[in-house]
């Protein structure tokens, strides 16, 4: 049996990117039950990819209840619907076997991973204050993507002079804006820039100097994306909601590594259930960005643990 429920998690504070502001995370929870054993997964339908709660629910409920993970890969395209079901099936298999998901996947035992903490788009002064309040964190991610980003970047660096800073432009820059900003990104010690140009316009990056590593987010969904990234990006951001689950995400990670890309493991704004399988994926990644639960005012009954060591692997009561 496959069930889908809608859950809403309030955010600790309004979260803004170049596309808009939200105050809550709306997610779908998938529960798969077979022979008295239950597995769960979570997805976050994303309007940028023409997904809604209704459309993703319809995709999921159209699946046969006995579907396997292997069959699922062909039954649904990469995206949120396949992700929630794939992760629920991993959880189900782990619980049925009495073994952790990492062992079933042939992975080493997972350890905590340092995660970025995201500062949402705001006025330079408010972003400086937010950076100062979070200056103890080893890595801050800044949401940018407007024509007025330099004052914001300067403000964050002033507020957190020692933090590793990564920047997410959310497709908000042009090639000219990116070229103009490059010297300042270097000067301010930015470690990486995520998706500076719209995915449909990123051909302009080919052949441009990349003094700061560029990471493909909206331009990279699954393994089929990789051929188009050559000469434009240095890193890929692997998100379960884009790959369509842990199964494809692990395959994408392996192929991206083989082709010379560094790996970032990211997330949508969701609960600990959405992050739990991604923690396995993030082992050894150059950048881990699984701070979704840190942005929430409420979470799952058995949440992930975040501390100075980073985000810890999930307890079996949560997932896997």
Q: Which active-site residues does the annotation give? A: 143, 239
Distance of CA 176 to the CA centre of its chain: 27
Radius of gyration of the chain measured on its C-alpha atoms: 19
**Nearest to residue 237, comparing CAs of 192, 273, 188?**
192
SS3 203: helix
Integer Cα distance of 239 and 44 in angstroms:
11
SS3 21: strand
Integer Cα distance of 44 and 29 in angstroms:
9
Integer Cα distance of 306 and 288 in angstroms:
13
In this structure, the chain runs to a length of: 320
Contact yes or no for 314/320 (Cβ under 8 A)? yes
Integer Cα distance of 214 and 193 in angstroms:
5
User: Strands (DSSP E) along the chain, which ranges?
Assistant: 2-17, 20-34, 37-43, 117-119, 139-143, 164-168, 190-194, 214-216, 235-238, 262-265, 287-288, 306-307, 310-311
């Amino acid at each position: 049996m496959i069930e889908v429920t809608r859950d809403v998690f309030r955010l600790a504070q309004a979260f803004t990117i170049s596309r808009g502001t939200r105050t809550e995370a709306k997610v779908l929870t998938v529960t798969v039950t077979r022979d008295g054993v239950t597995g769960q997964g979570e997805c976050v339908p994303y309007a940028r990819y023409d997904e809604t709660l209704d459309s993703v629910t319809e995709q999921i409920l159209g699946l046969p209840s006995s579907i396997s993970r292997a069959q699922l890969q062909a039954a649904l395209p990469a995206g949120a619907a396949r992700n929630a079901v794939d992760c629920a099936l991993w959880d189900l298999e782990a619980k049925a076997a009495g073994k952790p998901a990492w062992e079933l996947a042939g992975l080493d035992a997972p350890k905590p991973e340092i995660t970025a903490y995201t500062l949402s788009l705001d006025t330079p002064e408010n972003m400086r204050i937010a950076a100062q309040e979070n200056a103890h964190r080893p890595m801050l991610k800044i949401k940018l993507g407007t024509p007025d980003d330099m004052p914001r970047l300067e403000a964050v660096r002033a507020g957190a002079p020692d933090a590793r800073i990564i920047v997410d432009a959310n497709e908000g820059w042009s090639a000219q804006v990116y070229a103009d900003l490059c010297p300042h990104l270097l000067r301010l010690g930015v470690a990486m820039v995520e998706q500076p140009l719209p995915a449909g316009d990123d051909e302009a990056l080919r052949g441009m100097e990349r003094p700061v590593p560029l990471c493909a987010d909206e331009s990279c969904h699954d393994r089929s994306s990789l051929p188009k990234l050559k000469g434009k990006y240095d890193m890929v951001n692997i998100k379960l909601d884009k790959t369509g689950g842990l199964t494809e995400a692990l395959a994408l990670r392996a192929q991206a590594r083989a082709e010379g890309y560094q790996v970032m493991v990211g997330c949508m704004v969701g609960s600990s259930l959405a992050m739990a399988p991604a923690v396995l994926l993030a082992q050894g990644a150059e950048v881990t960005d699984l701070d979704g639960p840190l942005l929430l005012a409420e979470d799952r009954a058995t949440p992930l643990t975040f501390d100075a060591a980073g985000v810890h692997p999930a307890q079996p009561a949560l997932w896997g």
